[in-house]
Structure 1
Amino acid sequence: MKCSFEIVVLLLFFLSTTSVNGEIPPKIFDVTMYGAVANGEIDNAQVFLKAWTDACNYVGRSRIWIPKGTYLLGSVSFIGPCKGSIIFVIKGILKAPTDPSTFFTDTWIGFRYLDDLVVKGGGVLNGQGSSAWKYNDCQRNPQCKNLPVTMRFDFVKNSRIQSLKSINSKNSHFNLFACYNMNISHVKLTAPADSPNTDGIHIGTSSKIKILHANISTGDDCISMVAGSQNIEISDVSCGPGHGISIGSLGRSLAQQHVKGINVRNCTFTNTDNGVRIKTWSPSLYSVASDMTFENIIMNNVRNPVVIDQQYCPAGGCPVESESSVQINDVTFSNIRGTSSTKVVVNLLCSRILPCKNVKLIDINLAYLGPGGPATSMCSHVIGSSHGKQIPGGCL
């Protein structure tokens, strides 16, 4: 079998870095050498796992190599801990199964219990979600089964995901749980606007996460952060269509799993249902969401540009007289400008029993050009202040 030019270059590079002072040299694990078939029809899950097992047991630096081509891949989880660092390079197209008997699991491609992992390569993750979306009936069926997340990271730390494209996920594209110090950059995540629960990036119980230079078009939140999300930095993200960038929903479970230190900057929203949003259940368990900044945001025809919703009940009206017990503190909305597709461009609906505290509106310039204008702002149970330009006039 002839080696591709890319493999030859890698081999030459690795040979040039062979052991100095006894250091073990890096090693390539090419899945095609294990029998992977790039015809889009044969399931390569077991082959990929064999390559992973050898790479994970190698005490030096490992590089798993998936060359160009189309590889059918069933549900698979790559589990550590491993003996050395691993770079997982996807050059080809990975296709998820379309057989309904394979759908009902929470993971398509999983990485678990790993340190110093890189997933990159410019390849494509094709979830083939149109074959499964009709099975997403959880809002009306309490016995509904999970659909698989395209790529799930559980208990992963000090790692990077970059230069990947994910299309038509059956559920969320990327899911992070119990992760620490992870960077996601230069990714493109797409699914139709009417595809159910296809969040771009979903984060929970994780800290020190950066999401940079991403383009997300999907049928749910472009980025969602739930209980336990702390020290999250989001910058240079283009969102739309989708439901915006959301903190929450919070308060239904995981009491005392606080949210803190969320910074969303230099992002653009186009034709989304929401822009920047904090949402909590009513009623809810007690928790705290604090130290959140949304800054330098452009809205292009966004339905609800700036939202705090502490009566979030998507399946129907909240119980009468119920209130959220999530305390929201120290929130700044700064330099948010553009256009709204609805009249109420700033809508801050906080809890009557635990009002939002120290909320700041700074330099807001949002226009509504539809009937019944001009734009308005609404605030309820909010303690805060307005500064700088306020178009429309601030409600604080």
Structure 2
Amino acid sequence: MFHINIFGSQGVLVNKVSISAPANSPNTDGIHIGYSDNIRITDSGIATGDDCVSMVDGCTNINITGVSCGPGHGISIGSLGKYSRDKDVSGITVMNSSFTNTDNGLRIKTLAPSSPSIASNITFAHIFINNARNPIIVDQHYCPNSSCPNQGESSVQIKGVKFIDIRGSSASPVAVNVQCSKSKPCQDIVFSGLNITYNGKPTTASCSNCDDQFQGDLQVPSNCSST
């Protein structure tokens, strides 16, 4: 399973590591973080069959910089909301990183129905995407297997998320897919400086139950269509 598991920890630096697993290997997260504060991951290469970096509940003040991800499922926050004891997530920053031939790029996922918690103050900035299937995805109806109840809505409040200077190419025409909870709509989701194409053509964005703001001119995609 996880190559590196950081749990219940403070003040950890992971620097210049290289992690490799086959693209089809299940549950081979590169670095998994939970219930931890002040964690830094810098200048590392991660190629796995699951998340390059995964962050679950109780993560605060996590800084990820200079990570090359791919193959794999990208960098993920979640899944959140599985247990009633779940703690909030806040202060997550992912910067100056790249994703090549990944299933996802930047992802936040919560279960539905779920226990209540908050995921806030999250920034993804200066990211290069090369052929990721879901460059930007917020999924508040995440179901890891066919046994999910598939009833109700997520009670995880996602708010204060910024996507800044995300550029490159998508493996699908929808580069931004933000599907939030009806009972806890996403708040203050900001997109700035997007430039993501699909086969050389502009991509689109799909959003539901989301307070989204596209700031600045000439973004690709330039706005969200409601679903």
- Give the alignment's TM-score, normalised by structure 1: 0.55
| Percentage identity across paired residues of the two chains | 51
Is 1:222 paired with 2:52?
yes
Instruction: Write 1 or 2 for the structure with the bigger share of helix.
Output: 1
- In the alignment, what sits opposite 2:222? 393
Q: CA deviation at 1:320?
A: 4.8
**How far apart in 1 are the matches of 2:84 and 2:15?**
29
Counting only pairs closer than 5 Å after superposition, residues 180-195 of structure 1 correspond to structure 2 as 180-195=10-25
Is 1:292 paired with 2:122?
yes
Which of 202, 220, 238 in structure 1 is aligned with 2:68?
238
**How far apart in 2 are the matches of 1:305 and 1:361?**
13
Which of 356, 360, 380 in structure 1 is aligned with 2:208?
380
Q: Report SS of the residue matched to 2:141.
A: strand
Contact 1:255 1:286 in 2 (8 A): no
Contact 2:113 2:151 in 1 (8 A): no
Quick one: structure 1 residues 258 and 368, their matched pair in 2 at CA, closer, same or farther if it must change by over 3 Å? same
Contact 1:177 1:205 in 2 (8 A): yes
Contact 2:116 2:157 in 1 (8 A): yes
- In the alignment, what sits opposite 1:331? 161
**How far apart in 1 are the matches of 2:34 and 2:21?**
22
Contact 1:255 1:287 in 2 (8 A): no
Which of 358, 363, 367 in structure 1 is aligned with 2:188?
358
Contact 2:214 2:222 in 1 (8 A): no
Quick one: structure 1 residues 189 and 321, their matched pair in 2 at CA, closer, same or farther if it must change by over 3 Å? same
Q: Report SS of the residue matched to 1:312.
A: coil
Contact 1:311 1:318 in 2 (8 A): no
Unaligned runs of 5+ in 2: none
CA RMSD of aligned residues (A): 1.4
**How far apart in 1 are the matches of 2:32 and 2:86?**
19
**How far apart in 2 are the matches of 1:264 and 1:320?**
30
Which of 60, 71, 81 in structure 2 is aligned with 1:251?
81
Q: Report SS of the residue matched to 1:295.
A: strand
Runs of 4+ in 1 over 3 A off after TM superposition: 317-321
- In the alignment, what sits opposite 1:83? none
Is 1:313 paired with 2:126?
no
- In the alignment, what sits opposite 2:98? 268
Question: Taking CA–CA contacts closer than 8 Å with sequence separation of 6 or more, which of the two structures ends up with the larger relative contact order?
Answer: 2
Unaligned runs of 5+ in 1: 1-170
Q: Report SS of the residue matched to 2:90.
A: strand
1:310-359 CA-to-partner distances (Å, cap 9, x unmatched) read: 00012128545411000001000010000000111000000000000011
1:233-280 CA-to-partner distances (Å, cap 9, x unmatched) read: 000000000000000000001535110000000000000000000000
Q: CA deviation at 1:394?
A: 1.4
**How far apart in 1 are the matches of 2:84 and 2:44?**
29
Contact 1:256 1:288 in 2 (8 A): no
**How far apart in 2 are the matches of 1:318 and 1:362?**
34
- The structure with the largest alpha-carbon Rg is 1
Counting only pairs closer than 5 Å after superposition, residues 91-240 of structure 1 correspond to structure 2 as 171-240=1-70
**How far apart in 2 are the matches of 1:186 and 1:249?**
26
Quick one: structure 1 residues 203 and 348, their matched pair in 2 at CA, closer, same or farther if it must change by over 3 Å? same
**How far apart in 2 are the matches of 1:384 and 1:375?**
17
Contact 2:191 2:213 in 1 (8 A): yes
Contact 1:196 1:220 in 2 (8 A): yes
- Give the alignment's TM-score, normalised by structure 2: 0.95
